[in-house]
Structure 1
């Protein structure tokens, strides 16, 4: 199981209805995108982080572990705004790009925290079956669920093959490492193909008719939580606009 999935199954908000958490996280995401980046991004980011670390009960190290790779992409995507190309010298530092880079990084980080607020509190197994009620075709949710399941099987296969190659000194030199990686790719492809074929045969033998029926746990939507979320979003919008007017 991936670390983010483990957090999604063990946090305090796990028993809540996915619609409640989607309303909260998507509402904050809308604020992060629609409000001015300053001070909107810091306000939304702080609120999302406080909800993650406080009521949701996600540990700081778990949040950092889930965010560090996307934050690397945010940083790399912001750096080109600090560089100007053309003229003399041909490539140079552009001071006017600093505010734009900070705005981009701040807004992207706030949006990342909003998405993490949903992903770290809601397992995919709770979300996919309920999407059919919103009009999403069953074929899309079923293919997504199968791909999600196959992902863990492929990761396990990669670990097994890599351990076997390492035990045979397959990564001793650069040449053996390249050869091992090529063999690893071929072995994983064959295993994935074989698992897909066996899964297709298993579904056919069980009378698959184009729809996978799964039992969905019934969870009532908490009206106080929805009302509190609406109040929080209003406070975020009003507070951001007020701070912007004060700091202007």
Structure 2
């Protein structure tokens, strides 16, 4: 199991129904998308941190490492929004504000998604999706894609360890020389193993008909109400603060 799977299986909320966590993290994701980013993003990040690190007891290092990658990607991707190159490098009119808003909104939304991933097993999410009426073939594709990503990660880790044991990463020159060959090897092996897994799953049952073992956990209305209360409080605080800043 990868670290995200282990966290989802071992955290304090692992036995809670997936629907309860989906209401909380999905609502936080919606808040990050639709509310004013400069007032909502800090509140969403705070709520995600409290829910994930304090209440669910997920390891802070895992959560931070999982968030660093998307945050760096978002920050780099926002640079072209703020900086124009036509006629020489310069700040676009209003580009800096737009880049900041976009980054805040995307990072807050990513934190909510990561919070759901580190607290909820994929099997629980698939079971919830099927009960909600999502077509079985679509659930099958999601399950297969998730497994393929796991195979790719394990293949990359094994290839990196083998190169390190052969002292292929001692110098930058050596490391750069093996990146291409290692990437090609990982892609080929992951594709082969993914095809074999897909064929094995197809032999077991029709696409989307494979069983997912999950415990029957009833949703507790009190927890749903608490999550909705938190979301309403975040929305109200964000909107009121935004209006106060803009003299509304």
Maintained 8 Å contact 1:170/1:180: no
Query: Retained in 1: the 8 A contact 2:168–2:174?
Result: no
Q: Structure 2, unaligned stretches of length 5 or more?
A: none
How big is each residue's C-alpha offset from its partner over 1:102-125, in whole Å with a ceiling of 9 and x where there is no partner? 211111111112212211210112
Q: Which residue of 1 aligns with 2:38?
A: 38
Is the CA contact 2:144–2:198 (under 8 Å) kept in the aligned structure 1? no
The alignment of Structure 1 onto Structure 2 pairs a total of residues equal to: 244
- Rounded Cα–Cα distance in structure 2 between residues aligned with 1:197 and 1:5: 22
Match of 1:193 in 2: 192
Query: Which one has the largest radius of gyration?
Result: 1
Kept after mapping to 1: 8 A contact 2:52/2:58: yes
Matches of 2:157 and 2:112, distance apart in 1: 32
Q: Which residue of 2 aligns with 1:52?
A: 52
Deviates more, 1:176-185 or 1:61-70: 176-185
Gaps of 5+ in 1: none
In structure 1, what is the Cα distance between the partners aligned to 2:22 and 2:93? Answer: 39
Scaled by the length of structure 1, the TM-score of the pair is: 0.83
In 2, are the aligned partners of 1:25 and 1:114 still within 8 Å (CA)? yes
Q: What is the Cα-based RMSD across aligned positions, in Å?
A: 2.9
Tell me which residue corresponds to 1:12. Answer: 12
Cα distance, 1:192 vs structure 2: 4.2
TM-aligned CA distance change 1:65 to 1:246, over 3 Å: same
CA distance in 1, matches of 2:163, 2:107: 39
Residues 1:155 and 1:73: Cα distance change in structure 2 (over 3 Å)? closer
- State TM-score, norm by structure 2: 0.83
Query: Are the equivalent residues in 2 in contact too, given 1:165–1:180 (CA < 8 A)?
Result: no
Deviates more, 1:37-46 or 1:113-122: 37-46
After TM superposition, give the deviation of residue 70 of structure 1 in Å: 0.3
Q: Deviation at 1:64?
A: 0.9
Distance change in 2, residues 1:203/1:55 (3 Å): same
Matched, 1:214 2:212: yes
Check the 8 A contact 1:171/1:180 in 2, yes or no: no
CA distance in 2, matches of 1:243, 1:27: 19
CA contact (8 A) 2:32 2:41 kept: yes
In structure 2, relative to structure 1, the CA distance for the partners of 1:209 and 1:178 (3 Å cut) is: same
Secondary structure (helix, strand or coil) at the match of 1:54 reads helix
